[in-house]
Every structure is written in structure tokens, then in C-alpha cells.
Amino acid sequence: SSIVEIANTTDNEIRVAVKVYEAHGGDPLYNKTIKLAKYASYHLITDQILGGKEGIVMLDGNAPNSVIATVMQYGRTPTLGIQYMYGIQAKSPLGSVLKSSYNTFLNQGCSLLLVNPGNSATKATITLDRYDGTSPVAPYEVTIPAHGLWNEDICSKDNKDVYGVVTVQPATANSLYGTVVRLGEKDQYRFPTPVRQ
């Protein structure tokens, strides 16, 4: 389950344009403007919109600094209990060199999520550097589609029981937003760590 929790931070009514896209971009699957009373919030359940696929949400408030949002992710058990949950905050794509950590101890995995809210595809160079200064792979380039998402298991590129830094250098500054989601063995847990300047 993926639920977008949108809130108005001001003491005035605002309008928020909300668009939901599949990971490959294309036309929005959801495109509506919602009204929020002062300090009000709204929950958009994207399960049926995305049909179980990955995607992104783009929010545009009609007043500066008026909107905050978190996308809450819920992993479900076969009986619809909660196996894990975590939230990713909505943010503007800022920075020319973005960094986060990765860690393969405890059989962890880690997904690098890169969001491109722009109207055209963009490239980024990804570098992994271990704690000892070595690199498990050479720097490589990826392409993130317009209004799209790149999701890659970067921990699989390194050995067990190591940690390090992942660096993302967008071809154009202020074009990408990123998160590394740490994945516990057998989905015991998941939690996001920001990729930031």
C-alpha cells in the first residue's frame, strides 16, 4: 500500500495540483487539484491508481511554502497485517552532487530511488565508494525518464559485510531527488535514508 499524506502548513485555504505517474513516466495516471482548508490534510491512496506498480507523485501548491507531504509505504502480510512501513518525504530536487550511505551487513539490501520530476529524461553518474576507499564497480551512467523513477539494488554490486557511500551526480543540477531504502533480510524492515547535497 502506498498512501500520499498531503498537508497545508498555512492558515489560508490552498489548492494543490497532484499528479501521479508510473515509473517510466508518460502521461499522468492521476491529475487533480485538491483544496485544503487551513492546516488541513488529505490522504491519497495510490494502490488502485498505480495497480501495484512503482511510480512518483508530484505536488504543486498555489502558495509558496504551503505544502508538506509524506508517501507512506506499507508492506502487507498474506492476512493484511503490517510487515513493515516507512515514509519518504516529498522534496524539491536540489543539488549538483548527491550522497547517501549503503550497508550490506546483516544481509541488508538497498534500493537507490532517483526521481526525475522534469519534462525530459536526464542522466546521472553513480559512484560507489567503500569505507576503505576502494570501489566495487566503476562509475556508471543511468537515464531517468521524464516524470519517472529509477530503482536499482546498489547493495548487490558490493560484497557482504561492507558499507560505503553512494554518490549521484546529475547531468543537470537541481534535477533529481533521491532516497536509499535499506531492506532488511526477508523484509523484516525497510527504512529510507536521504540522498542529498
26-65 residue pLDDT tens: 999 999 999 999 999 999 999 999 998 999 999 999 999 9
pTM comes to 0.94
Name the DSSP class of 104: -
Averaged pLDDT for residues 98-118 = 97
CA-angle at 87, arms to 83 and 91, nearest 5°: 160
- Grid cell for residue 3: 498512501
Strand partners, 74: 85
Phi, psi of 138, deg, nearest 5: -70, 150
Q: Which three cell numbers stand for residue 147?
A: 516524470
DSSP sequence for 35-86: EE-TT-EEEEE-HHHHTT--EEEEEEESSTT-EEEEEEEEEE-TTS-EEEEE
**pLDDT at 191 (0 to 100):** 95
pLDDT on residue 40: 98
**How would you label 153-165 residue by residue, b for 16+ Cβ within 10 Å and e otherwise?**
ebbebbeeebebe
Is the confidence at residue 72, as pLDDT, over 90?
Answer: yes
Calculate the average pLDDT of the chain: 96
Give dist(CA 34, CA 50) in Å, integer: 19
